[in-house]
Amino acid sequence: MEGEMSVDPMTYEAQFFGFTPQTCMLRIYIAFQDYLFEVMQAVEQVILKKLGDLPGCEISPVQVRKCTEKFLGFMKGRFDNLFGKMEQLFLQLILRIPPNILLPEDKPQELHPCSEEEFRLLQEEIEQLQEKYKTELGTKQALLAELEEQKIMQAQLKQTLVLFDELENAGRDHGTSDFRESLVFMVQNSRKLQTIRDTVEREGKRMKIL
């Protein structure tokens, strides 16, 4: 049956139903097959029970299973033949949208039809707009990254200015108002502190030796 199913994609019908008509028919076929198999299993169980109640019955369950499978194959062949005809009827007359019918979402095409050349030009314009959007998006991301870098640089500059203000205030506290004098004063003090530290370290080493 699967080999006989229509190869027409029926995309317009799928747009309306939300599924392809072929998929619908395949599911119906599988459901019928499952039901037929379940019925044959139930029939087999009834036959085995009836045979079990007969005294001296020589028919074994294996023979019953062979007969059941043979009958199931016969029924499946008949079913496939009938279902193939039903499938053609459904796909041609029931699940098919006539060529002169437009879906509501496609009504504007009827009011504003366009030629193949116009459609091609529209596609090209859409592609150009998509490329332009990608370019603008990349430019925006680059600008955002540059803005973030500027924020970091502004924060670093602010810290530097605060440091300069602190140096200038320290200079004023020690009688130096000029920034250069303040910087020289800070350097001299740092050298003095380094000298004191070196002296303390030498004295510490000497005390350990003693």
User: What pLDDT shows up at residue 175?
Assistant: 58
Higher pLDDT, 108 or 23: 23
Q: What is the reported pTM?
A: 0.46
Dihedral angle at the C-alpha atoms of 3, 6, 12, 17, nearest 10 degrees?
Answer: -70
Q: What is the pLDDT of residues 48-71, one digit of tens each?
A: 888 888 887 788 888 988 988 998
Distance between CA 34 and CA 13 in Å, rounded? Answer: 27
- In the block, tokens 């030796």 appear at 209
Q: What is the pLDDT of residues 168-207, one digit of tens each?
A: 666 566 555 555 565 566 666 666 667 766 776 676 666 5
Most confident of 121-130, 143-152, 169-178: 121-130
